[in-house]
Structure 1
Amino acid sequence: MALLKKSSGEGSAHDPEGRMPLMDHLRELRNRLLVATIAVVVGIVIGWIFFDPVWAILKAPYCDTVQSQQLVQGHCSLTYSGIFQSFFITLKVSAMIGLVLASPVWLYQIWAFVTPALYRNEKRYTVVFLALAIPLFALGAVLAYVIMHTSLGFLLGFSLDDTVATIGIDDYLDYVLIMIAIFGISFELPLFLVFLNVLGVLSHATVAKHRRMVIFLMFVFGAVITPGGDPFAMMALAAPMIILFAAAELFMYVRERRMPAGEDFSHLSDDEASPLEQDSDSER
């Protein structure tokens, strides 16, 4: 009983190292989730209000194709089959808008929750990577939207004679979201390589050694991951990824060349303590 009371007493306050007790972590997590949820809900409401102009932008790539005017000549047509489907499509688009509008809030909440567990240099790297990750994802999403007209025209061009394309709203919206997500996330992969290099997990020599294989795999990835195996989408995805990969490799090369020799521990065994760890042990 005495041990239990002692443990409960120690858990009610910060320990000598300044770490936060578990209950305080959970309370902070709850509060940050609440703030993020409120921001997303507000964004969804705004998305619901401005649904029409956003939907006009989203359906524009399809409306530029010949097949979009097969049902009603001179008018872009998408179909839906269920009574409630149009409502859920509106809700899905509004949720997508809400997540985008609220992204600064919920991204900050995630960062603020994780930050106390990081060292000062790790906090700096986190801010830099977050500042780069958002524009890269947006760049990928914009590229996906730009090439979507060509991609849809290629895929719908395989329509058989004497047939009419009745594209469902749900299917088309899923295609748009998949394309945006694929391109956006793919543009983050070179940044992930840089992150591993900064952490000391991945060296430039390793990347340079497997450069040809990586480029080949990027083309394979583009061919497999793009909906319908569209060659235009594959090339549009693989080419920027290769450019970003080259930029990431250049960053690794320059960083390692400028790194003081004393900071390179790549030659050490996984079981061998670095001088930094030995110094910290001696200070204790």
Structure 2
Amino acid sequence: MAIRPRRSSAREARMPLSGHLVELRKRLYLAALFIVLGAVVGWFASDYLLALLRDPIYAVAETQDRVATINYNSITSAFDLKLQIAFTVGIVISSPFWLYQIWAFFVPGLTKKEKKYTLGFMFSAIPLFFLGSAAGWYVYPHIVALMTSFAPSEDTSIIEAKTYFDFVLKLVIVVGVAFVLPVFLVLFNFAGLISAQSILKSWRIAILMITLFTAIATPAADVLSMFLLAIPMIMLFFLAAGIAWLHDKRVEKKIDSVNPDEASALPPTEPLSA
């Protein structure tokens, strides 16, 4: 008899679909507002960022003794590029605010354990993404210098501005995402989908994949940039394996601490919280 009222009240407490849509619209409006405000800041900072982007091109002109410059191939190209930089900056600097809006929309439907895992994922993935993005930003001048060096010295390097910015942006994002991948290994381990032993067994494959990725992300002849990207990613992989190993050990201790009848009653694939 005591169960029925709880089920009835839980059913009544559920938000209808229209309520979810209203809440989603509110969160999207707030996220868009923060991005636009960040884009305003990015608009005023775009000239400074463009100057930073030009530095590797100027370095090419000096070190390779050639004419190297950024080119705008249409009337609106400069405006379009400045707008693109502004919104890119807006998305980055407003990320704590629009990420919170996403969190605030989903958190009412999460259990305590799910909230714990989600917060742990966010507080580890976001710094690692920015760390990886910083690594990508660090190596891109080396890549620009190497790739332009294949042109004969008597030729002119006229680089289309938007193509150049897209190249740098994609490189920074891809390296940033690559740095987050070890967090998914830990997340899958905590969810009971993969063991630390399985992660450690695949270390050769992981190193091979990391090496291939960094070889693609950086020019083949730029060994220094390749190692600058590969070494932190390999360290993050083994760090993720170490965290997963510690988690598995704690799960084993919890299983050993219960009596045999209770342990046999547990589903074999059900992960135990740390």
1:228 Cα offset (Å): 5.1
Q: Deviations over 1:196-224 (max 9, x none)?
A: 11111111111112111111111112223
Q: Is 2:32 the counterpart of 1:37?
A: yes
CA contact (8 A) 1:151 1:230 kept: no
Change beyond 3 A, Cα 1:163–1:142: same
CA contact (8 A) 2:142 2:222 kept: no
The more displaced of 103-112 and 50-59 is 50-59
CA contact (8 A) 1:65 1:149 kept: no
Partner amino acid, structure 2, of 1:165: S
CA contact (8 A) 1:137 1:188 kept: yes
Partner amino acid, structure 1, of 2:231: A
Map of 1:161-180 to 2, 5 A cutoff? Answer: 161-180=153-172
Partner amino acid, structure 2, of 1:174: D
Change beyond 3 A, Cα 1:30–1:164: same
Structure 1 equivalent of residue 150 of structure 2: 158
Partners of 2:228 and 2:60 in 1: CA distance: 19
The more displaced of 90-99 and 146-155 is 146-155
Q: CA RMSD in A?
A: 2.6
Change beyond 3 A, Cα 1:95–1:178: same
State percent identity of aligned pairs: 34
**More helix per residue:** 2
Change beyond 3 A, Cα 1:121–1:140: same
1:229 Cα offset (Å): 4.8
Gaps of 5+ in 1: 1-12, 264-271, 278-284
Partners of 1:185 and 1:220 in 2: CA distance: 15
SS state of the match for residue 160, structure 1?
coil
CA contact (8 A) 1:144 1:180 kept: yes
- Aligned with 1:16 (options 11, 26, 38): 11
1:129 Cα offset (Å): 1.5
Structure 2 equivalent of residue 114 of structure 1: 106
Map of 1:53-202 to 2, 5 A cutoff? Answer: 53-66=48-61, 70-71=66-67, 77-202=69-194
Q: Is 2:232 the counterpart of 1:240?
A: yes
Partners of 1:95 and 1:44 in 2: CA distance: 5
Q: Deviations over 1:50-79 (max 9, x none)?
A: 2212222233333332379733xxxx7311
CA contact (8 A) 1:47 1:98 kept: yes
1:14 Cα offset (Å): 7.5
The more displaced of 50-59 and 33-42 is 50-59
Partner amino acid, structure 2, of 1:214: A
The more displaced of 254-263 and 199-208 is 254-263
CA contact (8 A) 2:146 2:219 kept: no
Q: Is 2:221 the counterpart of 1:205?
A: no
Partner amino acid, structure 2, of 1:193: L
